[in-house]
Structure 1
Amino acid sequence: MRKQHSKGRPLRLTAELVARVERLEPDPGPEPGTSEHSDAEFTAWAQALLDEQPAGELWVFAYGSLIWSPEFAFEESRRAIAHGWHRAFCFRLTRWRGTRELPALMLALDRGGSCSGVAYRLPAGDRAGQVAQLLRREVDAKPATNVPRWLQVRTSAGLVRALAFVAAPYGLAYAGRLPLPQVARVLARAAGHWGSAAQYLFNTVTALEQHGIHDRNLHAIQRMVAAEIAALPARHD
């Protein structure tokens, strides 16, 4: 079994282990008491964000799935650090990669520390359309927990102001700071109509390592998730 390597240390979580828990579940839709944002709301939100942006280029700060699946055109990417925020599995999901019965966890930026990621410079044209599309992808149901915010991030070529998505501590889906073993137990078991939480973790850790970014907590979590999956009963499809 071929393993990825991180600074001389192998990643325990492999594609083969992820395949053991990979599955698709029906989409249950928004939680009761929440609703989807309309296209008009996303358009207005995008314009309000752009109205807050000082003159200059449009940058997006990626720390999770936007690194391995950006789904937008970009003209430049740079390693970047956001100070005052850290990458954490603090966003509870009951759809996408989880269900009502078995909720998942997803990464968001939470207060404190620092986070190494990738800053993308987007093309100059149709900024409102680009930001609205990004909101559709990243923002959860209304009222939202994963919310956009302009952050100052440091790159090798200096500071840039970038759009990022952070966890709102008042949000219904905010899970708070959880012990890493508890996070690992969830990620080893949860899945939704976008696939498994283990696949999300595997893709994220692999993409970070490919960019030369070693996240100590994620490296510990992937090791725990690998052990959790290895200990699960064999699945017979």
Structure 2
Amino acid sequence: MSANTIEHNRIRQNFEGVSSIWLFGYGSLIYKVDFQFLERRPATIHGWERRFWQGSHDHRGTPEAPGRVVTLIKSPNAACKGMAYRVSPSVFEHLDVREKNGYLRFATTLTFENGSHAEGLVYIATEDNEAFLGHAPDAEIARQIAGATGPSGPNSEYLLRLAESLRSLGDSCPHTFAIESHVRSAAGCDT
């Protein structure tokens, strides 16, 4: 599948007659909220875990030196904490462009902190897109992140802001925090 998923996403869901829908963010959508929303609440989705397995040659890297950003990988007993936004369907005109580098919208069940549930959408970059990089050792992922910069800034900024946001949500993401530790150690920073 092409890395550019704008048109794929525009035909995936029919929003006719829908006034609002929940959107789940687990990466930059937690901290970079450049869209209007009607409501925002911490939430969790089950059966998925966050991984820095997606290449970014349009935001946090270049085609010659792609960065790494997160996607979700199926994992039956896992839970991924993030932020849910109730949005107007018109928001996807912007988000489909922002998330165009291999991400497709999928339906998912969100669980809120009070135990209630809602159906929503989540952007996931699956392994069949051209920008998918897949598994690598944490230290190797950290080296790639530390050396990548793109139009949206340094890839390390994405990682550090995500780690900070996850801590604010009370999430424990060993994968993200291990990579953060490698990047900070390489830069001579304290964790």
Q: TM-score, with normalisation over the residues of structure 1?
A: 0.70
Question: Aligned residue for 1:8?
Answer: none
Question: Aligned residue for 1:87?
Answer: 50
Question: Aligned residue for 2:41?
Answer: 78
Label 1:154 to 1:194 Cα distance change in 2 as closer, same or farther (>3 A). Answer: same
Question: Aligned residue for 2:91?
Answer: 130
Label 1:64 to 1:35 Cα distance change in 2 as closer, same or farther (>3 A). Answer: closer
What RMSD over aligned residues (CA atoms) do the two structures have, in Å? 2.6
Residue type of the partner of 1:117?
G
Indicate the SS of the match to 1:83: strand
Indicate the SS of the match to 1:214: coil
- Offset, 1:102: 2.1
Residue type of the partner of 1:114?
A
Indicate the SS of the match to 2:14: helix
Comparing both structures, which one devotes a greater share of its residues to strand? 2
- Offset, 1:100: 3.1
The answer on whether the counterparts of 2:3 and 2:131 sit within 8 Å (CA) in structure 1 is no
Query: 1:20-59 alignment to 2 at 5 Å?
Result: 41=7, 45-46=9-10, 48-51=12-15, 57-59=20-22
The answer on whether the counterparts of 2:42 and 2:113 sit within 8 Å (CA) in structure 1 is yes
Question: Aligned residue for 2:108?
Answer: 151
Number of residue pairs matched by the alignment: 186
* 1-structure distance, mates of 2:2, 2:120: 28
Query: 1:88-107 alignment to 2 at 5 Å?
Result: 88-107=51-70
- 5+ residue gaps, structure 1, are 1-32, 232-237
Q: 2:174 aligns with which of 190, 212, 216?
A: 216
- Offset, 1:37: 6.6
Q: Does 1:164 align with 2:126?
A: no
- 5+ residue gaps, structure 2, are none
Residue type of the partner of 2:109?
Q
Give % identity.
27
* 1-structure distance, mates of 2:95, 2:63: 25
Question: Aligned residue for 2:85?
Answer: 120
* 2-structure distance, mates of 1:120, 1:179: 32
Summarize deviations over 1:145-192 as a string: whole Å, max 9, x none: 211111112112411111111122111111112211111111111111
Label 1:154 to 1:102 Cα distance change in 2 as closer, same or farther (>3 A). Answer: same
- Offset, 1:47: 5.9
The answer on whether the counterparts of 2:3 and 2:130 sit within 8 Å (CA) in structure 1 is no
Residue type of the partner of 2:103?
N
Label 1:172 to 1:37 Cα distance change in 2 as closer, same or farther (>3 A). Answer: closer
Q: Does 1:204 align with 2:162?
A: yes
* 2-structure distance, mates of 1:54, 1:101: 43
The answer on whether the counterparts of 2:3 and 2:100 sit within 8 Å (CA) in structure 1 is no
Label 1:209 to 1:47 Cα distance change in 2 as closer, same or farther (>3 A). Answer: same
Indicate the SS of the match to 1:49: coil
Kindly name which structure, 1 or 2, has the bigger radius of gyration based on alpha carbons: 1
* 2-structure distance, mates of 1:99, 1:59: 31
- Offset, 1:56: 7.8
* 2-structure distance, mates of 1:100, 1:229: 24
* 2-structure distance, mates of 1:178, 1:49: 33
Label 1:37 to 1:100 Cα distance change in 2 as closer, same or farther (>3 A). Answer: closer
* 2-structure distance, mates of 1:163, 1:151: 6
